[in-house]
């Protein structure tokens, strides 16, 4: 509108649309890496945090950081491969806060393995870890979202689900399925619950670090158009956007935060 500052429109402050005051976020794999980064980012935006992770000491440290920001936080031991622990995570969140507005399905992963050395068991385990767990937790959380004001689900997917690379037949297939599941949930539960995904590129976390030495890191950076690895905050800021009212017209979409990848950047031969 004429006469309004560039950072104001329709009578609203743009930054206000990123606020999450009064919201409760459940995050898996919240003890380190991207999950911990999402917890900090959502808390900084105003959300109370329920973090689940297998290592309770790690997720409790993150919860302490959230409390230091003036937000409430609950640390819950949770192995996402155990259905009962997923149910407990949701129950603990509801008991403590009475609502769930945001779910970040972050837990997942799988190391690269040549296709002919990937057993049937390993393939199915990878699918369960990356897809079935997110499916179950979304099923458990969505009814609580529908009872209140709706909500937002953010699935942490991967560029490996879009870009074929040797050695990633299990992980890439699983993340591709997670991306499509995101669209299925979005279609079924719009407009009350928005469901989106982030296709994460190579991100500098403790999960990636053990694979890299100085040479392989340099090669991976060279193969990435932005000439660097992603940082946890790059992903966390994307999750904050998708979780917040700033993205209220976005559902069933995949936000690619991958440094501009159009081809694989995995520097190792199979």
Residues that are catalytic: 171
**Which residues, other chains included, contact 237 with Cβ-Cβ below 8 Å and sequence gap of 6+?**
41
**CA nearest to 195, candidates 237, 135, 260, 236:** 135
């Amino acid at each position: 509108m004429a006469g309004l500052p560039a950072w104001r429109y329709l009578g609203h402050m743009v930054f206000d649309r990123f606020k999450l005051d009064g919201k409760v976020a459940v995050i898996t794999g919240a003890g380190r890496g991207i999950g911990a980064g999402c917890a900090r980012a959502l808390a900084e935006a105003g959300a109370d945090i329920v973090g689940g992770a297998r290592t309770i000491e790690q997720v409790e440290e993150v919860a302490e950081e959230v409390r230091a920001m003036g937000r409430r936080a609950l640390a819950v031991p949770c192995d996402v491969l155990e259905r009962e622990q997923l149910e407990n995570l949701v129950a603990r969140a509801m008991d403590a806060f009475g609502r769930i507005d945001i779910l970040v399905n972050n837990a997942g992963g799988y190391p690269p393995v040549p296709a002919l050395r990937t057993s049937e068991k390993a393939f199915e385990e990878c699918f369960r870890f990356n897809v079935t767990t997110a499916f179950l937790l979304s099923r458990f959380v969505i009814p609580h979202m529908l009872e209140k004001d709706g909500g937002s689900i953010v699935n942490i997917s991967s560029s490996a689900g879009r870009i074929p690379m040797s050695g990633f037949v299990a992980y890439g297939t699983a993340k591709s399925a997670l991306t499509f599941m995101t669209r299925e949930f979005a279609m079924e539960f719009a407009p009350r619950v928005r469901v989106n995904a982030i296709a994460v590129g190579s991100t500098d976390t403790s999960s990636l670090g053990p694979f890299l030495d100085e040479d392989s890191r340099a090669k991976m950076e060279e193969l990435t158009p932005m000439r660097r690895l992603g940082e946890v905050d790059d992903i966390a800021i994307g999750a904050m956007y998708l979780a917040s009212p700033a993205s209220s017209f976005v559902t069933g979409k995949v936000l690619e935060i991958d440094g501009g990848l159009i081809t694989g950047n995995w520097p190792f031969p199979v």
